[in-house]
Amino acid sequence: MSLRLPPSLMPNAGLPLLALAPMQYVTNLAFMRVVSHYGAPDYFFTEYFRVHENTRLDRHILSSITENDSGRPVFAQLIGHDPELLARTARALLAFPIAGIDLNLGCPAPKVYRKKVGGGLLSDPELVSEILAALREAVPSLLTVKMRIGFDSTEHLERLLELLDEHAVDLLSLHGRTVAEGYRSEVHYDVIARAVRSVGCPVLANGNVTSATRAVGVLAETGARGLMIGRHAVRNPWIFRHCRERFLGLPLTPVTLADVREYVQRLYAATSAGATNELSSVTYVKRYLNFLGPSVDPGGAFLHDMRRAGSEAELFAVCDRHLLRNGTDLFALEPYAGVVARPTIEAPRCTA
């Protein structure tokens, strides 16, 4: 099974597919450009366009389509519950250079699923069917779905997978946890494997793909056509390059703490462009450093000090202290056990 994309949009034909997971307020144009510098995925998915009666295409999100210079296909992700409005928004997006439309059926943020959108739709397969029918009629190109294995159980999973086939969905990105499990539980790769066997379209396995070594294991365990990686691509933007090296049996490109210091500088420059003041730039880049921290030191000292920085100078002094003191030391490709990103920082976003 393969996506109906022309060869020019299949840069690594024959290898497992790799995609950057859409993460609200994180995987914007700035981050897409940064991760592309270190090794772009095969596909990008935008932050979700919120669809409601008064929907206007968000210019900030639209820029990740119209100004994306990575050379990689970009899918426009939608979140909503009204079939007609979703179809109308999809038709509007077809005027832009997108690879296709992606439907969000997985966001686990309570403020989202309580509106019966994102992961909240997984308990209503018949509404999902109406939405997919409307989108399939409106979208002549690729129609993809990103979802979880269920809301609070896998009760409806088989029916949902049947609907993907009924409505000729072209690609499924499946996160191996329920909405209720959030990011706390182990990922149910066995359930992803079950979906791979039963659905007619290619499947990207999603959830806790921490490194290239883990990527190979997840592919073997699930039989998926590829992988979607989110938070661990923020922690380690070399991960897509490393995955391809591992797939080809090549040695992994070494990453030092000094390389990570350069990554932080690049992130700050990219995400602060156009910012109104220094504090907002510092606050914004901390969203990314929150993910980075678990691979800097086993005691979490970088995270502790970074969170207390109140200016650009203070932030980079922290980075210099932790990343340049022993800059030739290798960066930890797997996060250190027990060092976690602060949940309250992650709460407003949908991550994968």
> What is the rounded CA–CA span in Å between residue 243 and residue 227?
10
Query: What's the pLDDT tens digit per position in 325-335?
Result: 887 899 999 99
| pLDDT score recorded for residue 340 | 82
Q: How far is CA 320 from CA 306, 313, 323, in A?
A: 11, 10, 5
Which single residue is written with the structure tokens 């490194």?
Answer: 211
φ, ψ for residue 51 (rounded to 5)? -115, 120
In contact, 341 and 295? CB cutoff 8 Å: no
Q: What pTM was estimated for this model as a whole?
A: 0.93
One-letter amino acid of 20? L
Which single residue is written with the structure tokens 């922290």?
Answer: 318
**CA atoms within 13 Å, Cβ hemisphere of 323:** 28
Q: In this structure, what token pair is assigned to residue 269?
A: 């420059």
Q: CA nearest 120: which of 148, 151, 149?
A: 151
φ, ψ for residue 125 (rounded to 5)? -60, -35
End-to-end CA distance of the chain: 24
Q: Given a cut of 80, is residue 274 above it in pLDDT? A: no
Q: What is the CA radius of gyration of the chain?
A: 20
What percent of the chain is predicted at pLDDT more than 70? 93
In contact, 135 and 151? CB cutoff 8 Å: no
| pLDDT score recorded for residue 262 | 98
> What is the rounded CA–CA span in Å between residue 248 and residue 229?
19
| pLDDT score recorded for residue 345 | 41
The confidence band for 13, taking pLDDT boundaries of 50, 70 and 90, is low
In contact, 96 and 165? CB cutoff 8 Å: no
| pLDDT score recorded for residue 6 | 57
> What is the rounded CA–CA span in Å between residue 279 and residue 299?
27
Neighbours of 17 (CB within 10 A): 22
CA 343 and chain centroid, separation:
17
| 181-185, 260-264, 348-352, range with greatest mean pLDDT | 260-264
Neighbours of 330 (CB within 10 A): 12
Q: Given a cut of 80, is residue 49 above it in pLDDT? A: yes
| pLDDT score recorded for residue 311 | 97
Please state, rounded to an integer, the average pLDDT across all residues of the chain.
93
The confidence band for 9, taking pLDDT boundaries of 50, 70 and 90, is low
Rounded to an integer, the average pLDDT of 251-255 is: 97
Identify the H or E element spanning 182.
none
Query: What's the pLDDT tens digit per position in 88-120?
Result: 999 999 999 999 999 999 999 989 999 999 999
| pLDDT score recorded for residue 349 | 41
Query: What's the pLDDT tens digit per position in 62-80?
Result: 999 999 999 999 999 999 9
> Looking at per-residue confidence, does 347 or 142 come out higher?
142
Q: Given a cut of 60, is residue 350 above it in pLDDT? A: no
| pLDDT score recorded for residue 348 | 39
Query: What are the respective helix, strand and coil percentages of the chain, to the nearest 5?
Result: 45, 10, 45
Active-site annotation, residues: 107
| pLDDT score recorded for residue 238 | 98
